[in-house]
Structure 1
């Protein structure tokens, strides 16, 4: 079906419903935002009242959703072209660009102001900067201008644990910086693996992903290099105040597996990869999601178990 036909078929169903506006928030991405922000808040060396903690995570989630809505507003033209995104609410005509913009801006203001009232000015400022970075720096500038879009733009997704930490402490500690760095270094291999098997989408939309500007062979090398750097960072963090026996065990096992996956991707011949439907690349992409959740889950478990370790760790 053509884009026009797709929009017409869906628009006839009536006005946008709750599910359409919820889809604007990118709920799958929000899950990662909520979880890493929670770990940042929970791992902080300051006790936070449960209601304050709940409010902080809620407003960080709303801010993340606002970023998603504003990203969809700006990227609606390329979303109509890419197979992966053409079923989103704006390309299908269920929500107009103006509605998405207004919705996103309202949520952004709501989230920043209420996070400030519930916690402190630093956490609110970090949330405001994160929204600005994702929408303006990444979506409006980097995404369409440089193959380093996902490298620099990855900072936007790395801020939530730092915001959670700041909400609890009113400051930014080295542990918060390490959590930021873990997500920042994880983002490029995660998205480049996706780009390997979705290259035609970025070609069609004119987005200068590394696969488009430099080819799949170079992208495979970049995935391997960044995975090696990520593994070094992740393992090193296990020997800081952020780590613990659970985290270090998880980091050793998962980084060994992740490195093996990156090596397998690097060795792949394009003809063979295309013949089997990019099976190895898709598995690496899926595993990368578990990788990040497992590392942050281990940080939370070590924090919970800290009284039992005593002076042992």
Structure 2
């Protein structure tokens, strides 16, 4: 059972669920129906787990080369290729049926799109072909906000689109620092990450640009969704901190000093978590 759980990439699932619940709170302007919330989170977890399992199956050859991924179940032999593939398909089908039955079929359809984007568009097409893989491949990681909003309301408006864009713009400055740390791994595996193709300084510059774009997009949510003072303050303060850390990474890189890319990587997770925590709290306040 532990091997199957590892196959789903649970840390990724955790982050995706962090954005789903606040999105649903914002969608209904308060606390959503508890069962609907739980059902959406379960369905979303299964959907993300299915995509993660497919990715582990597709990337099993490069996972054997990279030190960061050598302990994954298909590398260690804890699971066979067939077991992983059957599990991925079963979990994917279960997630779509679950969301369709317990939320609505619009949310279920968006879940299917998310799986296909991650498995086909990112894992099969982009990842090994372009340094922009994580930019456009990251679209799949933005889907939980659309799924959550659709589950809560049965439709989409501009607010979830802004939330989608926030995560889309956030993904490169979140993931590229990780690729800086594991640049040798990616080079050995033949994956053309930006850090492999362009080097640390170029990665640092791109992180800055995307960080600024992320924060600017987060501020757009204020007029679009009529956000209050809590979200506005968190977006400004945490966004300023995120931008500062991005500039710090770049400055160290161009000076050829020792950089700490994982500081930005972990900091970006904290930033997004705080931002979406504010998204969830703001509609519950009387002011």
TM-score relative to the length of structure 2: 0.96
List aligned pairs for 1:75-90, cutoff 5 A.
Answer: 75-90=59-74
Q: CA deviation at 1:38?
A: 1.5
Partner of 1:4: none
Q: Is the 8 A contact 1:44 1:168 kept in 2?
A: yes
Cα 1:242/1:295, change in 2 over 3 Å: farther
Partner of 1:298: 278
Aligned equivalent of 1:36, options 19, 27, 45 = 19
Deviations 1:200-257 (A, max 9, x none): 0110110010111222221111111111111211123233315221111111111111
Q: CA deviation at 1:269?
A: 3.7
Q: Is the 8 A contact 1:192 1:223 kept in 2?
A: yes
Aligned equivalent of 2:10, options 27, 42, 63 = 27
Runs of 4+ in 1 over 6 A off after TM superposition: none
Q: Is the 8 A contact 1:115 1:124 kept in 2?
A: yes
Gaps of 5+ in 1: 1-17
Q: Is the 8 A contact 2:162 2:220 kept in 1?
A: no
List aligned pairs for 1:123-134, cutoff 5 A.
Answer: 123-134=107-118
Cα 1:175/1:242, change in 2 over 3 Å: farther
Q: Is the 8 A contact 2:50 2:115 kept in 1?
A: yes
Q: Is the 8 A contact 2:204 2:253 kept in 1?
A: no
Partner of 2:104: 120
Moved more, 32-41 or 175-184: 32-41
Q: Is 2:266 the counterpart of 1:282?
A: no
Partner of 1:11: none
Q: Is the 8 A contact 2:73 2:79 kept in 1?
A: yes
Secondary structure of 1:44's aligned partner: helix
CA distance in structure 2 between the aligned counterparts of 1:19 and 1:44, rounded to whole angstroms = 35
List aligned pairs for 1:105-184, cutoff 5 A.
Answer: 105-184=89-168
Q: Is 2:44 the counterpart of 1:56?
A: no
Secondary structure of 2:155's aligned partner: coil
TM-score relative to the length of structure 1: 0.88
CA distance in structure 2 between the aligned counterparts of 1:174 and 1:213, rounded to whole angstroms = 36
Q: CA deviation at 1:272?
A: 4.2
Q: CA deviation at 1:54?
A: 1.2
Q: CA deviation at 1:271?
A: 7.2
Partner of 1:5: none
Q: CA deviation at 1:154?
A: 0.9
Q: CA deviation at 1:66?
A: 0.6
Partner of 2:225: 241
CA distance in structure 2 between the aligned counterparts of 1:303 and 1:63, rounded to whole angstroms = 27
Secondary structure of 2:73's aligned partner: coil
Q: CA deviation at 1:83?
A: 0.8
Gaps of 5+ in 2: none
Q: CA deviation at 1:48?
A: 4.2
Aligned pairs, how many? 286
Aligned equivalent of 1:103, options 82, 87, 92 = 87
